[in-house]
Structure 1
Amino acid sequence: MYGKPEYQAINQLFNQRLQALPFLIACHRGFAHANIIENTVDAMRLARLLGADIMETDTTPTFDNELVMIHPNRERQLFNREINVSEMDLKQLQALYLYNGVGAETTQHVDTLDNFMRNIPQDMLIHFDRNEKHLPLLLAKLDHYPDQLSQIMIKVAPTTENYELLASHPRKYMIIPIVRNADDLARTFTQLDAPINFVGLETVIEKRHQTIMTAAFFQRIFDEHLAPLGNGLNLGASGGKEIELFGAFDDQQSLFGDPMTNGWGRIAQLGVKMINTDWPCELKQMRAKFFE
């Protein structure tokens, strides 16, 4: 069982899913394609239909402190104009139409956190990501949905400020710190006795550091009753260099090569219990073929 014994009632759905499956499939921003737009209710529904156990999503605050389902800095692609969501109030923002995957205007408007929460399938888990600057606001908004506590997982930067906030917050959401180096890992491990509902750990590992990705490394995480999360995502490049999230193992290697050698299968073989992908249907097929 993952997480502390005192939080098992909250973590019940997460643990039940992991008892039934070798690992859980997280769908990055939901499944977005053609007229299905990322981080929308439709993207969430389609992700579940295609086999995802978890939807990873993002929130951004508006000027009037509402939360909308937008990844920070995606305004140019989603609205086909240069705007800043955080400088607009919700009414202004919802007067705009979203643009789809082929760059055409749609009749769709940005989803609010409230609308999103009202439409979560009962058997789906949600990862809330990208909340570096507004974690207190996210917690306050999610507190309005106590009946969905067992579905909500929050990914956080492993900062002292975040850990102090989570320890003092009365509602104990499932928490997944994002660790990028040894200091992040050490700082998180010093907090494990705090009143925080840690259930997992996202490891972001560049290819040049992938030698640390051993069974012993992940066993250390398991020993603390945490479920490791690995990313298969291909997020593009920066300065001519591919952005690497889990060594050399990623979605593209899985789709066009042998996933058991260079992709999802290798991630799963290390004992990772959540794999984040843009291709949930294909990952589900691999999971059924090799692991179930």
Structure 2
Amino acid sequence: MRFAALGNPTYVDINRRLLAAANARTPLVAVHRGQNAGSVVENTAKAVRAAIVSGADIVEIDVIESTDGDFFTFHNGYEEAYFGLDRDILTLSTSELEELQFDLYVSAEAEKYGLERLSLILSSFPETILNIDRSWDYWDRLLPYMDEFECADRVLLKSPVSEEWLGKLASHPVKYPYMPIVKTMQDVELALNWPDINLVAVEIVAASTDCALASPSFVEQLHERNLLVQLNALNLPNRVPLFLGWDDEVSVLDEPEKGWGRLVDHGADIIQTDWPMLLRHFLASRK
């Protein structure tokens, strides 16, 4: 499907890069936390670069804020796994965060490898569309901070749907492209009808076919509104299906048509994956 515009035509200049990507090839491949493998750790500049060379059209990263108000890239909740840290990383100062090292990836002879600032990734990848996740609690401070990088045309924000976060987007003068994570029709109605936000895409979460959002007709309705649809092939640690079990695991270990193929046929404009190179190969072989 080709789009004449995304969302509200008022924001055509901001959305131009994402629109061009969506019309160049479908579905777009969004890589979850960058490509982490071997000695490359997720949510780092190395992971973003690895994702790009693995076929990413969009790279998703997670953002945290130090107690001093500085922004780093990390998914909180993984403190123990990466740092052996029995503490919420969100309670740490900038200096404490900068002391953390990915110990499993650093030997006495190796260069240090720790948390990275969001500024490094924003400045290092000026041609890459970044999907910034888990940042909504900081939007009061994060949005003005990102304004300094003039990156609105290459940043796609996402969040669960709430009046608080939609209000923050609406009140900010720079209209960053936005993708709500919807799980109910109430989520959909709230996001679609909220004024003064640059809604360009919708991420649908549906565990079973009983969910009204799992209907192909719902995807068609979103397309009629000039909105992209993101479907997840991810397998998170809790193993709850994000979209009908049509996921990376079944695609890699069984048959890609049972996972990625179904997402494509369902109308996905963006597929988020942990296996970008294999997904890109499958998409090329399916044409």
- Alignment of 1:234 with 2:235, yes or no, is yes
Unaligned runs of 5+ in 1: none
The 5-angstrom pairing of residues 1-292 of structure 1 reads 1-100=5-104, 107-120=112-125, 122-146=126-150, 148-191=151-194, 194-207=195-208, 209=210, 212-237=213-238, 242-260=239-257, 262-291=258-287
Distance in 2, matches of 1:273 and 1:286, equals 15
Distance in 2, matches of 1:134 and 1:278, equals 26
Change (3 A) 1:52 1:125: same
Distance in 1, matches of 2:131 and 2:225, equals 21
- SS at structure 1 position matched to 2:113: coil
Superposed CA offset, 1:208-238 (max 9, x none): 535752321101111111101010000123x
Distance in 1, matches of 2:107 and 2:183, equals 37
Identity %: 27
User: Which letter does structure 2 place at the counterpart of 1:114?
Assistant: S
User: Which letter does structure 2 place at the counterpart of 1:245?
Assistant: L
Q: TM-score, normalised to structure 1's length?
A: 0.91
Contact map agreement 2:209 2:215 (CA 8 A) in 1: no
Distance in 1, matches of 2:104 and 2:274, equals 17
User: Which letter does structure 2 place at the counterpart of 1:252?
Assistant: E
Q: TM-score, normalised to structure 2's length?
A: 0.93
Distance in 1, matches of 2:268 and 2:87, equals 38
Of Structure 1 and Structure 2, the greater helix share is in 2
Change (3 A) 1:224 1:211: closer
Q: How many Å apart are 1:96 and its aligned residue?
A: 2.2
Q: How many Å apart are 1:207 and its aligned residue?
A: 2.6
Superposed CA offset, 1:50-95 (max 9, x none): 1011111101111111111011211111212223322221112112
Distance in 1, matches of 2:236 and 2:210, equals 18
Superposed CA offset, 1:123-163 (max 9, x none): 321000112422222212211111x2211000022111111
Distance in 2, matches of 1:140 and 1:289, equals 43
Contact map agreement 1:36 1:100 (CA 8 A) in 2: no
User: Which letter does structure 1 place at the counterpart of 2:282?
Assistant: M
User: Which letter does structure 1 place at the counterpart of 2:222?
Assistant: I
Distance in 2, matches of 1:112 and 1:83, equals 20
Distance in 2, matches of 1:212 and 1:134, equals 29
Distance in 1, matches of 2:58 and 2:66, equals 25
Contact map agreement 2:180 2:203 (CA 8 A) in 1: yes
Distance in 2, matches of 1:171 and 1:211, equals 33
Contact map agreement 1:34 1:100 (CA 8 A) in 2: no
Unaligned runs of 5+ in 2: none
Distance in 1, matches of 2:19 and 2:178, equals 14
Give the root-mean-square deviation of aligned CA atoms. Answer: 1.8
Distance in 1, matches of 2:190 and 2:11, equals 22
Residue range with higher mean Cα deviation, 199-208 or 272-281: 199-208
Distance in 2, matches of 1:187 and 1:211, equals 16
Residue range with higher mean Cα deviation, 211-220 or 66-75: 211-220
Contact map agreement 2:232 2:242 (CA 8 A) in 1: yes
